[in-house]
Amino acid sequence: MTRFKELDPILHSQLRLAVVSLLIGIEMAEFTYLREQTGATAGNLSIQITKLKEAGYIEVTKKFRNNYPQTLCSITKLGRQKFAEYVNDLKDYLNPDQK
Amino acid sequence: MENEEKVMTGEESLRIISEMINKTKFDIRQGSFYLLFWGWLIFVCSLSEFLLKKFAGVGHSYYVWLLVIPGVFVSMLYGFITGRKAKVRTYTGMLYMWIWLGFFIAAMVLFIVHSKSMYSVAPYILLMAGLPTFISGFLIKFKPLIAGGICFWVIALAIFFAGTDTYSLGTSIAMLLGYLIPGYMLKNRVDHDAV
């Protein structure tokens, strides 16, 4: 039996963690911005965004700008809370003696 | 970003978090345009007013301030275009925008209140302009801008006691120290970072 609290499986994935880490410091970001910053493919990013949205960690708004579809992502209150918990769990995981 | 199913270590998680958070810093280029644009505009207006009045004896030298009206439209147009192009909205960027918009509204109120005594408005405008400049300096962690804000306050105080004859020259100096010098330093830092 592990003495560590298990890390949130929704956030403990490279791309999903990257997306939430980006959104934590900004009010809103376009899908294309998230793709540029993470270097992910559109397909993979789209799948991970859907998973985060279904978990309630992020909010996705679809709009039109100059007749082109625009996808805007922002972090939710739950997402913020889960990210803070993840960082705390990570600290315990990396420095177990400090507990 | 690699396949999401790859097992991550704790160190990797930390690296991703810090790397991504660093990418979301406020784009300081948004700041340097307004500082240089308004710095030059007000500098030219105030210095022209001073020179026309002092050396050419022009009675209505304050008409040069009409240049501010198209300046407001240019500023709004720039803000509208860059806002539409932006792919991301940072909290710092939004705060930066609201602080300067607040100053603009307060300045308009001041102009209306002092519409019959416009000549006396300079120290109050400098006093108010110091605040967003000072706060912006802290927001983007840029000391020359913080110093610029303090310069506005010192010059506002100095010209208030020195009398109305010094208002336009004092405003020119304030623009130089408060907007233009920090504005060019900020622009150089952005260009240097971009290399």
pLDDT in tens, B20-52: 887 776 666 667 888 999 999 999 999 998 898
Name every chain A residue with its beta carbon within 8 A of the beta carbon of B1.
Answer: 14-15, 18, 38-40, 44
Residue B7 has pLDDT above 70, yes or no: no
Please say if the pLDDT value at position A3 is more than 80.
no
Q: Which of A68, A65, A14 is nearest to B2 (CA)?
A: A14
The secondary element (H helix, E strand) that includes residue B191 is helix B181-194
User: CA–CA separation, B57 vs B137, rounded Å?
Assistant: 39
- Euclidean distance between CA atoms A99 and A90, whole angstroms: 12
pTM of this prediction?
A: 0.75
Residues in a beta bridge with A73: A29, A60
Helices (H), B118-180: 122-139, 143-162, 167-175
Determine the pLDDT at residue B1.
60
Q: Which residues contact B142 (CB under 8 A, 6 or more apart)?
A: B28, B136, B182, B185, B186, B189
Q: What's the pLDDT at A43?
A: 94
Helix (H) or strand (E) holding B95: helix B91-113
Using CB atoms, pick whichever of A17, A36, A94 lies closest to residue B16.
A17
Contact A44 B16 (CB under 8 A): no
Running DSSP on this structure, what letter comes out for residue A34?
H
What DSSP element (H or E) covers A73? strand A68-75
pLDDT of residue A53: 96
The residue ranges of every structural domain in chain A are 14-88
- Tell me the CB-side half-sphere exposure of residue B67, using CA atoms within 13 A: 17
Selected residue with higher pLDDT from A80 and B118: A80
Nearest-CA distance A97 → chain B (Å): 15
ipTM value for the complex: 0.84
Please name the member of B20, B91, B94 whose beta carbon is closest to the beta carbon of A18. Answer: B20
Nearest-by-Cβ selection for A30 from B20, B88, B94: B88
Query: Residue A4 pLDDT more than 60?
Result: no
pLDDT of residue A5: 67
d(C-alpha A17, C-alpha A20), whole Å: 5
* Residues 5 through 44 of chain B touching chain A, CB cutoff 8 Å: 5-6, 8, 10-14, 16-17, 19-21, 23-24
Q: What is the pLDDT of residue A1?
A: 42
Angle between helices A14-24 and A42-54 (to 10 degrees): 70
CATH for the stretch A14-88: 1.10.10.10
Relative orientation angle of helices B143-162 and B122-139, to the nearest 10 degrees: 170
